Amino acid sequence: MIRFAFSGLRSDYLSTRESADVFHNVEADLRVLDGEREIYGEVLFPVVELVGALRSWQRSRGEFVFDSMALDGRWAVRIIPADGGWQLVNAGDDLEHAVVSSVVFTEDIDRAIDEFAEALEPACVELLGTWIESFFA
């Protein structure tokens, strides 16, 4: 089962409500898990930006590649089509040592994304107020 887990939500450097500022400066420690196995982990990850990108991917499908200027090349996880489902692959530049998830069905990856968004939104509202809800619409 794929999970996107976050902790330590913060907005220490957020100075405006502009998209670029929110996307780069609402951060949390992020773990992407396949069961108990970690596919990816990062501190100070732009989680609101990731949710927006994952939601967009849900509407278009194809290979998911998250490109964020805030990460400066630290995110190397892709979601790729595989054997009638999807796999998360954390390869970076080192394909020989890639960390690859099990194959999951579309409804399972969608459930993981939905649960991530549904947990993150109220945490962001608690931290920042109701104005942040527009970033989850």
| Residue 54: per-residue pLDDT | 96
Q: Which two tokens stand for residue 41?
A: 């982990």
Give the global pTM: 0.93
Kindly report each contact of residues 41-47 with a partner whose C-beta sits within 8 Å and lies 24 or more positions away, as own/partner.
42/71, 42/74, 42/75, 43/8, 45/6, 45/71, 45/75, 46/70, 46/71, 47/6, 47/9, 47/120
For the chain, give every domain's residue range.
Answer: 2-132
CB atoms near residue 15 (< 10 Å): 8
| Residue 55: per-residue pLDDT | 96
pLDDT digits (tens, 9 = 90+) for 29-46: 999 999 999 999 999 999
In the numeric block, the tokens 């773990």 are attached to 31
Residue stretches of the chain with pLDDT short of 70: 74, 92-95
